[in-house]
Amino acid sequence: MAENVALGLRSSREPLLDLDVVSERIDKLAQTYGLQVDPNRPVWQLAVGEQQRVEIIKALYRRGAPILDEPTAVLTPQEVDDLFVTLRKMAQDGHALIFISHKLHEVLSISDRITVLRDGQLAGTIPTREATKQGLARLMVGRDVVFQYERQKVEVGVPRLKVTDLWARSDHGTDALRGVSLEIHAVKSWGWRAYRAMGSANWPRCSLACDPELKVRSASTVRISPGKRPIL
């Protein structure tokens, strides 16, 4: 990771890199901004959230103004919270941040001023304290937007797929799944938002035993009921 940060920087012992100096500075920045990173760990072994921290460290190291384009799209809720703590700390220390997102609650939570673009043109700029979800949505699409719909209740059927304590190791030697448990019932549509780079897309492949690269722990159990099988 230190090499990734040092790439392109001037070194006191060119053509070699000042990795010891860079690693020391990374540790200080990580401690200051709550970024859990290991300068000696290869980037290819990092999860998406950890790779994002590397890019933030690079921006801090070079004293740049990071442009964050949908930075939470592949993060877990806990990782989003951690990222926002770091961004608020950066803003308090005088760093300029550009946060691009379609998630209105995140924009309202993290920004000081909001600019909306529609069809490649400026639709409006307002202080965050004056903004609302409804107002921002109107600027985004040019009309009022309904945020809530009434849904009919559905009688849930018997379990068709049951997964208990599913663990799996990836080809990188890290945990791809950690103790996943769930039930999918008949007469029920079950949504799973998955990101391949984070390992979340691995559980359907483990459940159907169709990926030999994923090593499933023997204690894990997957039961598929007879009759109409779930479609994954």
Most confident of 29-43, 97-111, 132-146, 215-229: 97-111
Residue 92 CA to residue 144 CA, distance in Å, equals 35
DSSP type of residue 130 = G
Return the minimum-mean-pLDDT range out of 41-45, 62-66, 158-162, 199-203: 199-203
Positive or negative: CA dihedral 203, 209, 211, 216 = positive
The pLDDT of 163-172, averaged and rounded, is 73
Q: What pTM did the predictor assign?
A: 0.65
Q: Each residue of 23-43: pLDDT tens digit?
A: 998 999 988 988 888 888 888
* pLDDT at residue 193, as a whole number: 58
Model confidence band, residue 180 (pLDDT cutoffs 50, 70, 90): confident
Please say if the pLDDT value at position 13 is more than 60: yes
Chain centroid, CA 44 distance in Å: 16
How confident is the prediction for the chain on average, in pLDDT?
79
* pLDDT at residue 44, as a whole number: 85
Instruction: Specify the DSSP element, H or E, that contains 168.
Output: strand 159-169
DSSP type of residue 180 = E
Is residue 131 within 8 Å of 114, Cβ to Cβ? yes
* pLDDT at residue 106, as a whole number: 94
Token pair in block for residue 47: 């999860």
Please say if the pLDDT value at position 208 is more than 60: no
| Amino acid at residue number 23 | S
Is residue 225 within 8 Å of 158, Cβ to Cβ? yes
Is residue 111 within 8 Å of 104, Cβ to Cβ? no
